[in-house]
Amino acid sequence: MYWFFLIIFIITVLVPDLITGNVWFLSEKRAEEIAIFLMGALIFTIILKSEQQILFHKKEKEKDEKRIQQTVKDLVESYSYIGEVNRKMDILMGTALGLSDRSILSKTHEDETYSSIINATNSLLKAEFTSLKFVDIETVRTKKEFLPDEGEPVKNETLIAMEENVNVKKAQEYLIISSSQTVKGVKSYLIIHGYDPEEEGNQKNIEILKVFASQALFLYSYTN
C-alpha cells in the first residue's frame, strides 16, 4: 500500500514533465491540473476505502470479543453450576451413607448422624443455624430435639399447623421443612434460621432438604 502511494506521488510530481504539450482539446496547463486532480482523487478514494476496511475489521473484532466474553461467561456459569450440583450431591450422599453404614447404631452414632444432617442443611442453605425436632402429631409433644445454643424453640403448634401435603413453611424468620411421612404418629422438622434467600429460592435445594427430614425420621423410627 505504501509503495502504491509512493508511485502515485512520484507520478503527480512528474506531471509537468510528462505533459509537455496540449492534450487533445486541452491546453498543457489544463491537462496538468486535471492529471494532478485525478491523482489526488485516486489517493483520497484509496484512503477512504482503507478506512472503511479498518472500521469493518474493528467492528468484527469487537463482535468477536463480545462472543468470546459471552462464551467465557457461559463456561464459568456452567462450571459453577456443575460444581454446585456436585457439592449438593456430595452432601446428599454423605448423609445417606451415614445411615446405610450403621446397621447397629449406638447413641453416639445416632447423634452424629443427626448432626451431619443439621450441618448439611446449614451448608446447603448457607444458614446460621438449624434445629431438628421430632413431634408427636397427636399429643403435640416433643419426642426428641436438637436445638443449637443460639436458637429459640419454635412451638409445636406452629409445626403441626402445616397443612397436609405441605412440607415447606415460613414462620417469622424461620424456614420449616417437614418430613413427607409420619411414622407411628411422629414427624420430623428441620427449622432453619438465617438462610440465604437465593439458596432457599432454588427448588432443588428444597427437595434435598425434604430428603434430609425424611432421613432423620427414618433414623429416629429405626432407633426408637
DSSP 137-197: TTTTEEEEEE--TT--PPPHHHHHTSPTT--EEEETTEEEEE-S--BTTEEEEEEEES--H
For the ranges 27-31, 177-181, 200-204, 215-219, which has the lowest average pLDDT?
A: 27-31
Maximum Cα–Cα distance for the chain, whole Å?
123
pLDDT at 132: 92
Which CA distances in Å does 48 have to 10, 43, 45, 51, 60?
A: 21, 9, 5, 5, 18
86-127 tens-digit pLDDT: 565 555 555 554 555 545 556 667 778 888 888 888 888 888
At 124, which amino acid appears? L
pLDDT at 97: 47
Which CA distances in Å does 121 have to 33, 87, 97, 101, 158?
A: 88, 12, 16, 20, 21
